[in-house]
Amino acid sequence: MSTTVEFLLGSLALASSILGNDSSLPTVDLGYQIHRAISLDETFNTYNFTNIPYAEPPLGPLRFKAPIPPRGRKSEIQDGSIGKICPQANTKWNGIGSLFAAAYATDRLPFNYTQAEETLASSPPRIMDPRVTEDCLVLDVLVPKTVFDEQSKSKGAPVLVWIYGGGYALGDKTMFGSPHELMAATQQGENQGAIWVAMNYRLGAFGFLSGPTLQETGTANAGLHDQRLALEWVQENIHKFGGDPDNVTLMGISAGGGSVMHQITAYGGLKPALFRQAITQSSAFVPNPGTQLQEDAFNNFLSLLNVSSLEEARALDSAALLQIQSSETPTAHLSLNCLIWRVLPWCQLILQGSYSKGISILSSHMSHEGIFFINPRAIDDETLLRQRHRIPHI
C-alpha cells in the first residue's frame, strides 16, 4: 500500500467521525497527562481518544532501545489532534509485489518483470507522509459512549487490541480504515460493546535492528517491545475508559498476526501474558537468518549513515535516519534480521512449549496470501524459488 493511500485512509477515518473538539467531550486522567476525546461519532455513538502517548519519545539516547513509559506530567489537556505515524521503510517488494499480485489475481501471466521495473522507475517519487515522526509511539482508544458513561455500573467492557501488518516495515494504527463497523457488531442485542485499541510501533531500522554489536547498548526488535509496552498500558489504564483489563483480545494481520505470535511466545512464556484471547490472521513468519547476517545488516546500516557506532547514530538528526529508512536499500526491510525475543522464532518456541499457556487462539489464513512477497521471476523456477525464499528440500 502506498504512503499516499495510507495517508488518505487515515485522514478519512478521522475526518468521517469528527464533530469538533470542545469541552463537552470527556477527559481521562492518565497520570502523566489528561487526555480529552477528540470526537463523538454520532452514527456509531463512539468516543475517539486518539494519539495517546504510551511511551517516552524514542529519541536520542532512547533510539534503538526498548521503550519506557511516559515521564513527568503535562499541564495542559491533550486531545491528540496532531496525527503521528512511525517512519516507513521503502521496500522493493512493495511496488513489485503490488503489480504482481494484481497480475496474478486477474490471470495476466506470465508477468513481465522488466516492464514492471520500468513502470516503477517512471513513477513519481514517493512523498513522505506529513505525519511521519520518530515521536510516534501513540495509540487510539475508541469506546462506545454507553460503556464510557456507565463504567461505574459494570465490571468493564471487553477490549480488542489491534496490531497492524506491513511486513514489519510499513503501516500505522489507522492504515486499514475505521473499525466502527466491527465495533457496531459488538453492540448487538444487550451488549454494550467492546473497546478498540490500536497502537503504532517502530518499523524497519527503527524497530527491528539486531545483531550482537547492537545489543551491547541497544535492544533487538524494539518494535516488539513497543507492542509489549502498549499492552502494559492497556492493563494499567483501560479501566479508566470502561474496559476490563482481564478480558483483552489481541488481534492482527500479516506482520500483525506474526506479532501476536511473538507476544504469545515472548520471554519463552516465563512472563505472564497481557491478554486472554488472540486472533491471528495470516501470521507472518520470518526465518531466522543467523547472527552473522544480523550483524552484517547492522553494519550496513551504520555505513549508510556514515557513522561507526550506535551512539553516533543516536546523535544524528532525525532527517538523516528518515532518508535512509525511506530509501530503497537492502537494509530497509530489517525485519528479516529479527531475533524475535530469543534466538528461536516463534514456531520453534511453540513446538518446545515455550509460550504463554491458557490463551484461546483463533487462527485464519487466506489462499494465495504469499503472492505479494514471491519473487515473480521464480514463480516457474523451483530452483530459484528455493534459493531466494530459503525453502528447504524435503
Distance CA 140, CA 380 (A): 44
**Backbone phi, then psi, for 207, in 5-degree steps?**
-115, -15
Annotation says 254 is catalytic: yes
Give residue 389's pLDDT: 55
**Backbone phi, then psi, for 195, in 5-degree steps?**
-95, 140
Compute how many other C-beta atoms are within 10 angstroms of the C-beta atom of residue 350: 15
Per-residue CA distances from 178 to 142, 183, 271, 387 (Å): 10, 10, 33, 40
Distance CA 248, CA 214 (A): 33
Label residue 178 exposed, middle or buried (CB < 10 Å: 0-12, 13-18, 19+): buried
Between helices 222-237 and 255-264, what is the axis angle to 10°? 70
Annotation says 236 is catalytic: no
User: Among 17, 210, 254, 326, which one carries the catalytic annotation?
Assistant: 254
Distance CA 342, CA 333 (A): 20
Of the CATH numbers 3.40.50.1820, 3.90.1150.150, 2.60.120.260, 1.10.3720.10, which one belongs to the domain with range 3-90+126-358?
Answer: 3.40.50.1820
As beta bridge partners, residue 270 has none
Give residue 285's pLDDT: 67
- The string of DSSP codes covering 162-198 is EE--STTTS--TTTT---HHHHHHTTSTT----EEEE
Give residue 278's pLDDT: 97
Compute how many other C-beta atoms are within 10 angstroms of the C-beta atom of residue 361: 12
Ordered alpha helix ranges (H), 306-345: 310-315, 318-326
* Angle, alpha carbons 113-115-121 (nearest 5°): 105
Give residue 92's pLDDT: 67
User: Among 236, 295, 328, 369, which one carries the catalytic annotation?
Assistant: 369
Give residue 333's pLDDT: 43
Give residue 139's pLDDT: 98
Q: Where are the domains positioned within the chain?
A: 3-90+126-358
Q: Tens digit of pLDDT per residue, the chain (394 long)?
A: 444 444 434 443 444 334 444 679 999 999 999 999 999 999 999 999 999 999 999 999 999 999 999 999 999 999 999 999 999 987 767 788 889 999 999 999 889 989 998 998 888 877 889 999 999 999 999 999 999 999 877 789 999 999 999 888 889 999 988 899 999 999 888 888 999 999 999 998 999 888 899 999 999 999 999 999 999 999 999 999 999 999 999 999 999 999 999 999 998 888 989 999 999 998 876 666 678 878 888 898 999 999 999 999 999 999 989 988 877 554 444 443 343 333 346 677 777 787 889 999 999 988 887 788 778 888 777 787 776 655 444 3
Cell numbers for 65, please give them.
532501545
